C-alpha cells in the first residue's frame, strides 16, 4: 500500500498542473441528462373514504435517521394492508447513535398526518380507553414478532386476526419487516410517505435551507454548484470495518476499545477471524479522506470545487482531514457553515444533525458515497425522485479503487484514466430501475415515477 506521505505529495502537485482542466462541475454531463421521468405517486393511489379502522398499530423504529425513516414508511404500508390506525412510531434508544429524539423532534407530525389522511389514519397516541384496557402499560400489548421482509400475506393472515381480536397490536423491533416487492399501490404509498409525508421538523428545515443557500453562495466559481460527500470515517465505522490504517499500537487500542464499547464481545467470539488485508481487497474498508480527495481529483474535480462533507466526528480528524482540505480548499461541513449557536439546539441529537446533512446533500449537483448504508441508499433514491430518475451520484467500485491506491508504481496519467473509468461505470448506474431484490427507497422507478409522455 502506498503510504500517506507519497499520496499527499502527489496530491499537492495537482493544483500546479498546467493541463488540469476546468472543474467537472462546470462541464458536468449531468446538466444535460434531461428529465424523462417524473414522480407520479398520486396517480397510482386511489382516494376514497376510508373504511372503519380495524384497530391500532404500534411499531418501534431503531437505528439512525434513515433506518428510522425506512421503518416509518413500512409501518404506514403495513397499516394500510391491515386497515389499521397507525400510532406515531416511537424510537428505540440505540447504543451506537445514543439519540433520545422523538418523532416530532425530527419530523413534522402534523404534516405527516395531514398528507396521509386519505390513505391511512394516523394518531399521535393511543386513546385513553385502549390504554386503560392494558393498565397504561404499553409492554402489556401483545408484540407480534415478525420476520424480516415478511410478505403482505403474512400480515393479513397472522397479524390481522390478533388486531381484530384485541383492537391493538405492537411490532417491536420493526426494521426491514416488509418485503421489498409488494403490490404497486403499496409501493406508491411507501414513496408518498418517504418523499412527501416525512417532512423534517421546522427547526431542521429552517437551518438546512439556510445551509443550502450558504453553500450555493460559496460556490460562485462553479455557478452555485457544489459536490457533497458522505464521508464514513467516524471512529465507530472504522472500528466496525476491522480494517487497518496506520497499523500502530495506538490505533489498535482505540479500535479494540471502540468495538467493545458498542458491540460488547462481538468481535472477540471464538472462531472469529479478523483479516484487514482481505477486507481492503474486497472493498469493505471505509475510504480515508485522503483517498476520497485523490479519487475526486483523478476524476476531474479541481481545487475550485466547493465540497460539502457530511459526516459525524471523523476519527483522528486533525490528521486525516488535512490532505483533503489541501486538495479542496473550499471544503465545508455543517460545523463550519453554521454558527455555533445555530447548531446548539441539535447537539447530542445525531439524527437531527444527520437531517441537516441529508438536506444539503440532496440539493448538491453531485453526491459522492464512500460506504454503504441507509444514508446513501435513501439519498440516491431521493435524488432520482427529484432529478428525473438520475441519482447524479458517484458510487465507486472500491475493489478497483484499491488496485490503484495500492500500486506503488502507478503514474498520475494512468491513475486519472483509472478514475475516469470508475466514474463512467458509476454514471452508467445513476439511472436505474428497481429489480426484485432492490429497495424502492433507492430505486423509485418505475413504481413511483412515470415517463413524461405517459403521465395521466
Using CA atoms, how far residue 300 sits from 281, 352, 424, 427, in Å, is 25, 33, 12, 14
Distance, CA of 46 to CA of 83 (rounded, Å): 14
Each residue of 337-352: pLDDT tens digit? 999 999 999 999 999 9
Distance, CA of 292 to CA of 286 (rounded, Å): 10
Distance, CA of 401 to CA of 422 (rounded, Å): 8
C-alpha closest to that of 383 among 286, 335, 449: 449
Percent helix, strand and coil across the chain, each to the nearest 5: 50, 10, 40
C-alpha closest to that of 449 among 191, 126, 132: 191
What's the pLDDT at 96?
Answer: 64
**Cell 431521493 sits on residue:** 382
Asked whether 78 and 155 are in contact (CB, 8 A), the reply is yes
What's the pLDDT at 23?
Answer: 56
Asked whether 381 and 372 are in contact (CB, 8 A), the reply is no
Distance, CA of 152 to CA of 219 (rounded, Å): 47
What's the pLDDT at 152?
Answer: 98
C-alpha closest to that of 228 among 146, 165, 309: 309
Each residue of 298-316: pLDDT tens digit? 999 999 999 999 999 999 9
Asked whether 47 and 118 are in contact (CB, 8 A), the reply is yes
What's the pLDDT at 27?
Answer: 55
What's the pLDDT at 8?
Answer: 47
DSSP state of 314: B
What's the pLDDT at 392?
Answer: 93
- What is the rounded average pLDDT of the residues 64-78? 97
pTM over 0.75: yes
What's the pLDDT at 402?
Answer: 96
Asked whether 227 and 376 are in contact (CB, 8 A), the reply is no
Residue 454 has pLDDT above 60, yes or no: no
DSSP state of 297: H
**Cell 444527520 sits on residue:** 354
What's the pLDDT at 455?
Answer: 46
Using CA atoms, how far residue 448 sits from 106, 361, 388, 438, in Å, is 25, 21, 12, 14
Distance, CA of 203 to CA of 207 (rounded, Å): 6
**Cell 411490532 sits on residue:** 171
What 3-state DSSP class applies to 225?
coil
C-alpha closest to that of 303 among 332, 330, 333: 330
Residue 18 has pLDDT above 50, yes or no: no
Does an H or E element contain 444, and which? Answer: none
What 3-state DSSP class applies to 58?
strand
Q: Domains, the chain, ranges and CATH?
A: 4-32+203-233+287-363+393-429 (no CATH), 43-199 (3.40.50), 235-285 (no CATH)
Asked whether 385 and 448 are in contact (CB, 8 A), the reply is yes
Q: Which residue has the higher pLDDT, 34 or 439?
A: 439
Asked whether 191 and 448 are in contact (CB, 8 A), the reply is yes
- Name residue 170's beta-bridge partners: 58, 143
What's the pLDDT at 2?
Answer: 47
Residue 4 has pLDDT above 80, yes or no: no
Q: Taking the alpha carbons of 455, 428, 440, 395 in that order, is the dihedral positive or negative?
A: negative
Radius of gyration of the chain (CA): 23
Q: Which residue has the higher pLDDT, 259 or 162?
A: 162
Amino acid at each position: 500500500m502506498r503510504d500517506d506521505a507519497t499520496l499527499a505529495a502527489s496530491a499537492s502537485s495537482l493544483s500546479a498542473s498546467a493541463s488540469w482542466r476546468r472543474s467537472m462541475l462546470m462541464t458536468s454531463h449531468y446538466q444535460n441528462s434531461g428529465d424523462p421521468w417524473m414522480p407520479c405517486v398520486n396517480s397510482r393511489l386511489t382516494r376514497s373514504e376510508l373504511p372503519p379502522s380495524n384497530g391500532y398499530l404500534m411499531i418501534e423504529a431503531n437505528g439512525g435517521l434513515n433506518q428510522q425513516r425506512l421503518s416509518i414508511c413500512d409501518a404506514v404500508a403495513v397499516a394500510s394492508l391491515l386497515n389499521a390506525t397507525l400510532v406515531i412510531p416511537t424510537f428505540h434508544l440505540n447504543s451506537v447513535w445514543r439519540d433520545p429524539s422523538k418523532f416530532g423532534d425530527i419530523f413534522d407530525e402534523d404534516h405527516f398526518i395531514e398528507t396521509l389522511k386519505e390513505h391511512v389514519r394516523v394518531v399521535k397516541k393511543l386513546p385513553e380507553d385502549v390504554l386503560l384496557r392494558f393498565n397504561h402499560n404499553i409492554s402489556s400489548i401483545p408484540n407480534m414478532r415478525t420476520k424480516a421482509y415478511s410478505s403482505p400475506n403474512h400480515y393479513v393472515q397472522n397479524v390481522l386476526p390478533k388486531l381484530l381480536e384485541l383492537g391493538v397490536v405492537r411490532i417491536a423491533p420493526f426494521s426491514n419487516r416488509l418485503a421489498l416487492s409488494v403490490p404497486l399501490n403499496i409501493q406508491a404509498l411507501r414513496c408518498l410517505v418517504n418523499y412527501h409525508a416525512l417532512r423534517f421538523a421546522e427547526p431542521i428545515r429552517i437551518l438546512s435551507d439556510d445551509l443550502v443557500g450558504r453553500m450555493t453562495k460559496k460556490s460562485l466559481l462553479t455557478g452555485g454548484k457544489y459536490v457533497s460527500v458522505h464521508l464514513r470515517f467516524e471512529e465507530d465505522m472504522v472500528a466496525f470495518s476491522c480494517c487497518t490504517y496506520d497499523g500502530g499500537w495506538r490505533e489498535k487500542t482505540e479500535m479494540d476499545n471502540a468495538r467493545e464499547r458498542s458491540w460488547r464481545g462481538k468481535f472477540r467470539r471464538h472462531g472469529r477471524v479478523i483479516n484487514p488485508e482481505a477486507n481492503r481487497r474486497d472493498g469493505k474498508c471505509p475510504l480515508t479522506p485522503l483517498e476520497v480527495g485523490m479519487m475526486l481529483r483523478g476524476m476531474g474535480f479541481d481545487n475550485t470545487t466547493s465540497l460539502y462533507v457530511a459526516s459525524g466526528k471523523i476519527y483522528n480528524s486533525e490528521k486525516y482531514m488535512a490532505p483533503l482540505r489541501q486538495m479542496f480548499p473550499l471544503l465545508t461541513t455543517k460545523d463550519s457553515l453554521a454558527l455555533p449557536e445555530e447548531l446548539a439546539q441539535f447537539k447530542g441529537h445525531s439524527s437531527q444533525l444527520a437531517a441537516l446533512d441529508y438536506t444539503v446533500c440532496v440539493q448538491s449537483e453531485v453526491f459522492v458515497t464512500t460506504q454503504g448504508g441507509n444514508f446513501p441508499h435513501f439519498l440516491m433514491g431521493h435524488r432520482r425522485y427529484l432529478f428525473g430518475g438520475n441519482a447524479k451520484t458517484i458510487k465507486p467500485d472500491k475493489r478497483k479503487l484499491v488496485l490503484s491506491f495500492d500500486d506503488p508504481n502507478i503514474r498520475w496519467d494512468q491513475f486519472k484514466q483509472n478514475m475516469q473509468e470508475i466514474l463512467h461505470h458509476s454514471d452508467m448506474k445513476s439511472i436505474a430501475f428497481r429489480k426484485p431484490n432492490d429497495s424502492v427507497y433507492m430505486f423509485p422507478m418505475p413504481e413511483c415515477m412515470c415517463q413524461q409522455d405517459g403521465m395521466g
